[in-house]
């Protein structure tokens, strides 16, 4: 069942030199996993190593994810896959299969004449039925029930996963090396769901040294994600080595918490001099005004330039911001990942209820998006709902709310669409001409300017055709000429959304 893929690079995993063949042979099952699982034919996704399918255990009905190696992989990549299986089994054993760590269940290896190496390797993993943590948070924000208390609960569960990895069995630490929201998941869709950390492809083992409690691991190859990486991890030292340690993971946890509370990254997104300089000095963007002081304090401590000054996972779990949300009445409530509505007879924690309002009358984001129309994704729509709340205040009615031109400019800035000729765009999107934008006018308009199409080109042209005579710059460019030019480059209209000098440059070359 191995599937071909255009991805040619092998998973970043331990090198074959570190591979313990004896340990692998002790855990590998030498048969096709289809003998033990009913594997669904539709793939869940593809990666550099293989294709992932959903399966159901014939023994106990457990739903799992089966990652089948690509047929084209060479022996080096297959050795890396074997080494990764050994590593994941070690993580399970040394952390006692901690509930906040994604579960490695088994590895299979069996003959496959279509494969380049003559065999297929299959990793069987826990299926994260609840999806990604980021998607779940955005959904709760869209429903209006997310709060710092729930953020603290979710983050505390991620801290538990870090504590389990860093303390392990007392003989050393597993350093994840790629802590980020993309690697955080929700166990399932039940009321008992919880956050888990997964994807251990870059994880390394650092043996314990009683004489050096801050022992690190160094290598020349950078591993991780630049926007989440600690200074010593991102920026190589004078000998060309990057440094990894539990403290580096904790910096990444600080970035994760900043993202959860601010719905934005603390540092520039793209890897380059600006990101490196900001990370080197821990000069992050400003906090949202709604973030509490003690939450800021925890983030500042986690984003300490000095690795020895960052709190450990165990210390972070004792921080006042975490303790308030995980001890007492709030800790005893149902899971933050499946909140009941007041109409369903459940209890919404005091403080969140005021933010949420009447959940049953607001409806779900998906229902509202279908009602309002437009080509936005659910994630984009949830983001806009959140930013509208920041501008219009909590409790606004999305179906009747209207934006002034000043409020429109503020919303556009918050969703990172800046530099627009906003006054003209406002008038173009104000289809009924009442001097205000309804939310449906806003969502339809944003979907028009974010999709490469003739519709967007027409909208952009109308922004610059201030007098409505069908041409711009004294007749230099007509609408027909503009559409013809944009037709040669459908993304040119996106460039036109930037300040006027770009448009003048286009006119000069049209």
Q: pLDDT tens digit string along 101-151?
A: 999 999 999 999 999 999 999 999 988 878 888 878 777 766 666 778 888
What gap in Å lies between CA 387 and CA 264, rounded to an integer? 12
Mean pLDDT of 409-420: 61
Question: Is residue 402 within 8 Å of residue 388, measured between CB atoms?
Answer: no
What is the structure's pLDDT at 362?
38
What pLDDT is attached to residue 469?
62
As a whole number of angstroms, the distance between CA 96 and CA 24 comes to 19
Tokens 């009913």 map to which residue? Answer: 38
315 touches 302 (CB < 8 A): no
Q: How far is CA 39 from CA 32, 49, 64, 341, 344, in A?
A: 11, 18, 9, 36, 36
Residue 241 has a pLDDT of 95
> 219 and 237 in contact (C-beta within 8 Å)?
no
In what helix (H) or strand (E) does residue 67 lie, and over which residues does it extend? strand 63-69
Taking residues 42-51, what's their average pLDDT? 84
Cα separation, 421 vs 463, whole angstroms: 7
Please tell me the number of Cα atoms within 13 Å of 158 on its side-chain side.
Answer: 30
- φ, ψ of residue 406 to 5 degrees: the values are -65, -45
- pLDDT score, position 394: 55
CATH assignment, 131-328: 1.10.510.10
Query: Cβ(137)–Cβ(154) under 8 Å?
Result: yes
Q: What is the pLDDT of residue 506?
A: 34
Residue 484, classed as helix, strand or coil, is helix
Residue-wise over 213-231: b if at least 16 C-beta within 10 A, else e? eeebbeeeebbbbbbbbbb
- pLDDT recorded at residue 504: 39
Ordered by start, the domain boundaries in the chain are: 21-126, 131-328, 366-508
Q: How far is CA 161 from the centre of its chain?
A: 18
**d(Cα 429, Cα 426) in Å, to the nearest integer?**
5
Q: Which CATH class is domain 21-126?
A: alpha beta
Looking at residue 38, its pLDDT comes to 97
Least confident of 74-78, 107-111, 142-146, 479-483: 479-483
Question: CA-to-CA distance for 91 and 103, rounded, in angstroms?
Answer: 9
pLDDT at 149: 80
The pLDDT value recorded for residue 222 is 94
Lowest mean pLDDT among 100-109, 259-268, 274-283, 446-455: 446-455
Buried b (16+ CB within 10 A) or exposed e, 129-155: ebebbbbbbbbbbbbbbbbbbbbbbbb
The helix (H) or strand (E) run that includes residue 503 is helix 500-509
User: Would you tell me how many other CB atoms lie within 10 Å of the CB of residue 81?
Assistant: 25
Using a pLDDT cut of 90, give the percent of the chain over it.
Answer: 42
How many other CB atoms are there within 10 angstroms of residue 192's CB atom? 10
Report the C-alpha gap between 124 and 31 in whole angstroms.
Answer: 13
- What is the percent of the chain with per-residue pLDDT over 70, rounded to a whole number? 66
Q: What is the pLDDT of residue 39?
A: 96
Range 153-163 average pLDDT:
94
pLDDT value at residue 251 = 98
Angle at 126 between CA 260 and CA 200, to 5 degrees: 65
Highest mean pLDDT of the ranges 151-155, 420-424, 449-453 = 151-155
Gap between the Cα atoms of 164 and 117, Å rounded: 36
Tell me the C-alpha distance between 148 and 319, whole Å. 14
Asked whether residue 26 carries a pLDDT value surpassing 50, the answer given is yes
Lowest mean pLDDT among 8-12, 161-165, 180-184, 373-377: 8-12
Q: 21-126 and 131-328 share one CATH topology?
A: no
Residue 367: CB atoms within 10 Å: 10
Considering only CA atoms, which of 91, 5, 103 is closest in space to residue 49? 5
- pLDDT value for 16: 34
- 301 annotated as a binding-site residue: no
Q: For residue 171, what pLDDT is reported?
A: 93
CATH for 366-508 (1.10.3470, 1.10.150, 3.90.550, 1.10.238) = 1.10.238
Arithmetic mean of pLDDT, 330-353: 33
Answer yes or no: is pLDDT of 425 > 70: no
Q: CA 489, CA 445: separation in Å to the nearest integer?
A: 21
Residue 175 near residue 246 (C-beta atoms within 8 A): yes
């Amino acid at each position: 069942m191995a599937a071909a893929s255009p991805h040619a690079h092998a998973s970043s995993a331990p090198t074959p030199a570190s591979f313990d063949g004896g340990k692998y042979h002790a855990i590998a099952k030498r048969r096709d996993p289809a003998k033990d699982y009913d594997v669904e034919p539709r793939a869940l996704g593809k990666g550099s190593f293989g294709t992932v399918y959903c399966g159901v255990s014939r023994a106990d009905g457990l739903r799992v994810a089966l990652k089948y190696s690509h047929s084209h992989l060479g022996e080096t990549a297959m050795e890396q896959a074997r080494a990764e299986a050994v590593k994941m089994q070690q993580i399970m054993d040394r952390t006692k299969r901690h509930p906040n760590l994604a579960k490695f269940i088994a590895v299979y290896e069996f003959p496959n004449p279509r494969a380049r190496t003559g065999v297929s390797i299959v990793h069987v993993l826990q299926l994260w039925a609840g999806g990604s943590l980021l998607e779940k948070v955005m959904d709760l924000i869209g429903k209006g029930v997310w709060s710092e208390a729930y953020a603290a609960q979710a983050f505390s569960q991620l801290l538990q996963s870090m504590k389990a990895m860093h303390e392990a069995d007392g003989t050393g630490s597993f350093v994840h090396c790629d802590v980020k929201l993309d690697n955080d998941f929700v166990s399932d869709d039940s009321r008992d769901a919880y956050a888990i950390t997964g994807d251990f492809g870059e994880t390394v083992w650092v043996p314990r040294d009683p004489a050096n409690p801050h022992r690190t691991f160094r290598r020349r190859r950078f591993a991780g994600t630049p926007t989440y990486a600690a200074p010593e991890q991102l920026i190589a030292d004078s000998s060309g080595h990057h440094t990894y340690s539990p403290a580096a993971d904790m910096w990444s946890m600080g970035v994760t918490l900043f993202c959860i509370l601010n719905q934005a990254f603390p540092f520039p997104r793209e890897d380059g001099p600006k990101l490196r300089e900001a990370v080197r000095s821990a000069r992050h963007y400003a906090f949202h005004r709604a973030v509490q002081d003690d939450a800021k304090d925890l983030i500042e401590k986690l984003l300490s330039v000095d690795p020895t000054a960052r709190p450990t996972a165990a210390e972070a779990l004792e921080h006042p911001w975490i303790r308030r949300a995980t001890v007492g009445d709030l800790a005893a409530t149902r899971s933050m990942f499946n909140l009941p509505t007041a109409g369903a007879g459940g209890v919404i924690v005091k403080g969140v209820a005021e933010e949420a309002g009447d959940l049953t009358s607001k409806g779900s984001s998906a229902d509202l998006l279908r009602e309002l129309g437009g080509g936005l994704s659910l994630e984009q729509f949830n983001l806009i709902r959140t930013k509208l709340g920041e501008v219009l205040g909590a409790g606004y009615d999305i179906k009747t709310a209207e934006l002034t031109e000043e409020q429109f400019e503020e919303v556009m800035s918050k969703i990172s669409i800046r530099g627009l000729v906003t006054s003209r765009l406002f008038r173009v999107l104000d289809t009924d001409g009442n001097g205000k934008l309804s939310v449906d006018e806003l969502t339809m308009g944003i979907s028009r300017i974010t999709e490469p199409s003739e519709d967007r080109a027409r909208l952009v042209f109308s922004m610059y055709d201030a007098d409505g005579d069908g041409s711009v710059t004294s007749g230099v460019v007509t609408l027909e000429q503009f559409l013809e030019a944009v037709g040669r480059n459908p993304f040119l209209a996106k460039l036109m959304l930037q300040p006027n000098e770009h448009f003048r440059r286009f006119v000069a070359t049209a």
